[in-house]
Structure 1
Amino acid sequence: MQLQALESSGTTREVGRMKLNRSRRRFMVGSAAAAGLMAAGKSALFAAPPLADDAGRMSIARWKGVANPSPEQIGKIAERLTEKALEGLGGIERFVRKGAVVFIKPNMSWDRTPELAANTNPDVIATIVRKCLEAGAKTVRIGDNSCNPAAKAYAASGIAEAAKKLGAEILTLDKTRFVETEIRGELIKSIPIHPQTLECDLLINVPVVKHHRLTKLTACMKNCMGIIENRQKFHQNVPACLVDLAKFLRPPLCVLDAVRILTANGPTGGNPADVQTKLTVAAGVDAVALDAWGAEVLGLKA
């Protein structure tokens, strides 16, 4: 297998300004909601380092090598794809300063193995952990407010084992530690958020592209629900609530895993027939643009 057989979009893909029509963006989060997130700017909790023509920029790495790789080969491919996607943004060094505390938020909410694509690919997460530590991060933490019991979900996903081997701290987001936090959104004024996700120097959002029975797509914006306690509060108006939370957090770096995607019966999945192997990873600074790209990968139409 040739691990050089990668196709990169070059440095970036102009998604924020590309021909992404308003109806598709409205399909994603509602046109007013998307505009609100894009305008969040300096009011956000975290701020990305400046990058020329920042809005909507992303880096996409695709595998163009041997067809139908084995699970072991997919692991190596996922690693290289993640490296290439980060390189296209200027490298993770652009985001991680020496001595930083980094919190990585994957999707590891379900008692599902990597082949079922209900959780983020563990090799994608392991690569990000390694790159953060190589860039000088003091501490890398990983956690999720899992839907299935954390011990089962963390083990089945493969993320906890892969990341711990590299020196990451694996956190169970204990429900007793959530703190009511003012986010001053249009609909959500405050919500319990786990403090570890707010006290870090850098929050990296790393979801997997998959179907969701309520929202059709779950990717970057919806992955943020994994750091809050009262998810039911969001179900009154999921798009608007997601935008309120995303405007507050605005993670400076998002990495969207499309190594394998879940095309139906999400978010839990469980049927291999619902999984497609796409062997693609995207990285960017704009969750809305990445989610729009994720909708395309999933085959959703406006």
Structure 2
Amino acid sequence: MSAGSLVLNSALFKFAFGQEESSTGRVTKRIKGMHDLVVAKGEDPYIMTVKAVETMGGMRKFVKKNSAVLIKPNIGWDRSPEQAANTNPYVVGALVDMCFKAGAKRVNIFDRTCNDTKRCYENSGIEKIAREKSANVFSPDDWNVIKAKFNYESPMEGWPVYRDALECDTFINVPILKHHSLTGLTISMKNLMGICSGDRGMMHFDIGTKLAHLTDFIKPDLTVIDAYRVLTRNGPSGGNLEDVLDMKTIMVSPDPVLCDSYAANLMDRDPLSISYIEQAVKLNLGNADIAKADILTIKT
């Protein structure tokens, strides 16, 4: 029997008898940046991203030499960058460059897509730009998962999470800000759905609690929100350019709750009206009170 067959048979045995490996999530300490949140305004999404991270204290605050980094964009839809359903590829490209410059040994990028994976990766523009910069862009493996465990009662207990999302030294969450028909908005916590295997439809029940618990489980080290082009209605997939607004804004913070709250405010939404922000505040995962945060806006 080949080694490949042994691995497959082991995976089948674990799947059949419910003996998958479990984890209580990433163990990480939130790194304090130079500010609570940096907001960049400008014309070039690559430059805006670089300047925002530099103003936060630089990527070396978050990425150490010879480390493994996961960059998690939204690549869920078969849409072009102009349609604003996926993260801007130049934002992702800037993060890849900064991670390698900071000394990362490996930069992984993946998403569990809603449309055909090959078309999503190609038409988003993310795969091409990231691979040109030596990032490892791949489709997640539904066999290569770890069951989530919590030290409190959670609807996410036992949910399969891709191992690649956990086995990284630095997790950078880089969503696009857009309208979503179910949750109101897709921002960073909603973007974490793409690291989960399992029944996507079941995630939609009590989704606010699930996403807050998932955020607690993953503990993103850095959140970078792409609001360069924003899908203002008919999300999450969009498709009509008339629904897209040029906001030309990038937000960077170690605090996903603050980042999402500021983004919600940009969309004229009370942050606490977004279920996952409300639930994250209850778990003390971050600050939703923008007025009490150290926020610096820069122009590039």
Under TM normalisation by the shorter chain, which class is it?
0.7 to 0.9
Structure 1 vs Structure 2: percent identity of aligned residues? 38
Matched, 1:58 2:37: yes
Q: Deviations over 1:37-63 (max 9, x none)?
A: xxxxxx862424542798xx1111112
Matched, 1:195 2:163: yes
Cα distance in 1, alignment partners of residues 163 and 189 from structure 2: 19
Match of 2:4 in 1: none
TM-score (norm 1): 0.78
Instruction: Report how many residues are paired.
Output: 246
Q: CA deviation at 1:224?
A: 0.5
Match of 2:143 in 1: 176
Cα distance in 2, alignment partners of residues 300 and 243 from structure 1: 18
Contact preservation (8 Å) 2:38, 2:252: yes
Matched, 1:291 2:272: no
- Higher mean alpha-carbon deviation, 229-238 vs 82-91, is at 229-238
Cα distance in 2, alignment partners of residues 259 and 169 from structure 1: 25
Contact preservation (8 Å) 2:34, 2:55: no
SS at match of 1:214: coil
Q: CA deviation at 1:293?
A: 1.0
Give the counterpart of 1:100 among 64, 67, 70: 67
Q: CA deviation at 1:250?
A: 1.2
List aligned pairs for 1:95-174, cutoff 5 A: 95-174=62-141
SS at match of 2:191: helix
Contact preservation (8 Å) 1:49, 1:95: no
- Provide the aligned C-alpha RMSD in A: 1.7
Match of 2:182 in 1: 214
List aligned pairs for 1:232-247, cutoff 5 A: 232-247=201-216
Q: Counterpart of 1:297 in structure 2: which amino acid? A: L
Q: Counterpart of 2:39 in structure 1: which amino acid? A: I
SS at match of 1:88: helix
Cα distance in 2, alignment partners of residues 50 and 164 from structure 1: 28
Cα distance in 1, alignment partners of residues 205 and 173 from structure 2: 24
Match of 1:7 in 2: none
Cα distance in 2, alignment partners of residues 52 and 96 from structure 1: 13
Contact preservation (8 Å) 2:175, 2:224: yes
Cα distance in 2, alignment partners of residues 269 and 51 from structure 1: 36
Q: CA deviation at 1:88?
A: 1.8
Runs of 4+ in 1 over 6 A off after TM superposition: none
Q: Deviations over 1:171-209 (max 9, x none)?
A: 101223233232445332121011111111111000000
Q: Deviations over 1:227-249 (max 9, x none)?
A: 00122232110101111111111
Match of 2:286 in 1: none
SS at match of 2:228: strand
Matched, 1:272 2:253: no
Contact preservation (8 Å) 1:211, 1:267: yes
TM-score (norm 2): 0.78
Matched, 1:253 2:222: yes
Q: CA deviation at 1:298?
A: 2.0
Match of 2:295 in 1: none
Cα distance in 2, alignment partners of residues 178 and 232 from structure 1: 18
Q: Counterpart of 1:268 in structure 2: which amino acid? A: S
Q: CA deviation at 1:99?
A: 0.1
Q: Deviations over 1:75-125 (max 9, x none)?
A: xx0011101110121011100000001010000010000000000000000
Cα distance in 2, alignment partners of residues 211 and 46 from structure 1: 31
